Amino acid sequence: MPPPPRSPAHPARARRLWPWALLLSGLLAGCAGPATGPSGEGGTPALPEAAGPEPPPWERTDRDRAIQHLLVAEIAARREQFDRALEAYLAAMALTPDQRVAERAVELSLVLEEEGSARAAAQRWRELAPERAEAYQLLGLLALRRGDGEAARESLGQVIERWPGTPGQAFLQLTTLLGPDSEPEVALGVLSELAQSYPDVPEAHRAVAAAAGWADAPARALAAAERAFELAPSDREAGKALLQALSRARRAEAVALEEALATLQRLREAQPELLPQAALVEGEILRQAGRLGEAEAAYDRGLAEAPGDTELLYGRGLVRAGRGDVGSALADLRRVLEAEPGAPYVLNALGYTLADHARDLDRARELIDRALEAEPDNPAFLDSRGWLLYREGRLAEARDPLQRAFEQQPQAEIGAHLGEVLWELGERERARAVWQRAHEQDPDHRVLRQTLERYGVDPHAW
């Protein structure tokens, strides 16, 4: 079947950080005494005529101790003893009001993935430079990673207040830095609360939409993206965010079909430059709904604006194959393959279409084999291999790849194929069980429905 459309090594990172040695030299220069003094001939310092009283013992200041720790840190770093270097930077950080030392401790903590040290260093950085947003930003991100929503909300709120640009720019920065690894549900809750204080900032709602996507909350993502679009209907990025949220929401059946189509219409009217992208989403939505004629028309509209767009060509090829227009489908898929000659998904789609319609099975085998060489365990590719074997009359061989594909992805079309092979092998009870499971996944799937009708199986009689 065709599918629908470390941190770096410590030594390398440490070499990037050597400019921090300038900080040490600055501190040393600041505490150095005069370069010259009374001298005799040739510039040699003159000796005192007579020894005076013993000088008092040297009492080291915090600055002296900080310099000592910085020396140790730089030497340890040059020797690639990074844990020792971090320990020394943390010690120096507590003894000097120079925020650059805290920044250095933060950076090295992150390289070593020492979250406890990074948090302590960021807190010290915040104490030394409370007007800077960066320390609050790091503290907020670390809080999200450990799932502390309250601490994250407090710190990230300070980021937005202290950001040198607009609140919208601050939200965009947070969206860039956050991600699925930041406890998605916690991140969604934090950004949602922060956005409530900025109800008319479209970027705030885009940030919520992104977080809802990470948290697998498609309805919330769509609502936030729609609000961002309402606030900035001419903003291209808001339009793109809405398209992405709409596509995901429809796949999850979190929005009604007609409502989704109406939203696409509003988007096309507000941003006609996004017509190809909107056509791609519309074609996908209509294809999933089985409205293949309308889906082809949507792809046609997109291709009129972007004739060589491979995603649109691929989608239209699948729709044309589904409508039985095999020649046109093969033409579209061959154009995609010319543009992306090694793409496994295209190889598979073209091979599957040939096999499904019993066209040039040798060529179909070559294409599907190339796809499987690239991704041996891809369930869509395994389904294509099994279906090809079935078309070649090799039923016993077809069962294994189809079974493997269905175990990985119990999708309706794969189930339809596996059930048909089992039925033809005489294993009719197993075939019914597979079809029943596939029907539970997608009762309206076109291929599954046609297969059941062809074998006279009533899914409502199970």
Q: Which of 295, 357, 371, 369 is nearest to 326 (CA)?
A: 357
* Residues of the domain holding 284: 239-341
Judge contact between 14 and 111, C-beta under 8 A: yes
> Does 16 reside within a domain?
no
| Collapsed DSSP state (helix, strand, coil) of residue 32 | coil
* C-alpha distance from residue 462 to each of 200, 433, 436, 457 (Å): 53, 9, 7, 9
* C-alpha distance from residue 419 to each of 354, 402, 416, 428, 430 (Å): 21, 9, 5, 8, 7
| CATH number for 248 | 1.25.40.10
pLDDT band at 47 (very low <50, low <70, confident <90, very high): very low
> Does 279 reside within a domain?
yes
- Please give the pLDDT value at position 2: 72
The structural domain count of the chain equals 1
Percent of the chain topping pLDDT 90: 64
Q: Which of 440, 411, 438, 431 is nearest to 456 (CA)?
A: 431
pLDDT in tens, 260-275: 999 999 999 999 999 9
Q: In this structure, what token pair is assigned to residue 312?
A: 């649109």
Q: Report whether pLDDT(178) > 60.
A: yes
> Does 183 reside within a domain?
no
Q: Report whether pLDDT(462) > 80.
A: no
- Please give the pLDDT value at position 230: 97
> Does 171 reside within a domain?
no
> Does 382 reside within a domain?
no
The stretch 355-360 carries a mean pLDDT of: 94
> Does 350 reside within a domain?
no
pLDDT in tens, 20-43: 333 333 333 333 333 333 334 444
- Please give the pLDDT value at position 31: 35
> Does 303 reside within a domain?
yes
The pair phi, psi for residue 45, each rounded to 5°, is -60, 135
- Higher-confidence residue of 19 and 263: namely 263
Q: Report whether pLDDT(5) > 90.
A: no
User: Across the strands, what pairs with 45?
Assistant: 39
The C-alpha atoms of residue 217 and residue 189 are separated, in whole angstroms, by: 12
pLDDT in tens, 379-407: 999 999 999 999 999 999 999 999 999 99
- Please give the pLDDT value at position 6: 39
- Please give the pLDDT value at position 420: 98
Please measure the distance between the N-terminal and C-terminal CA atoms of the chain and give it in whole angstroms.
Answer: 26
> Does 245 reside within a domain?
yes
| Average of per-residue pLDDT values in the chain | 87
- Please give the pLDDT value at position 26: 37
pLDDT in tens, 211-225: 999 999 999 999 999
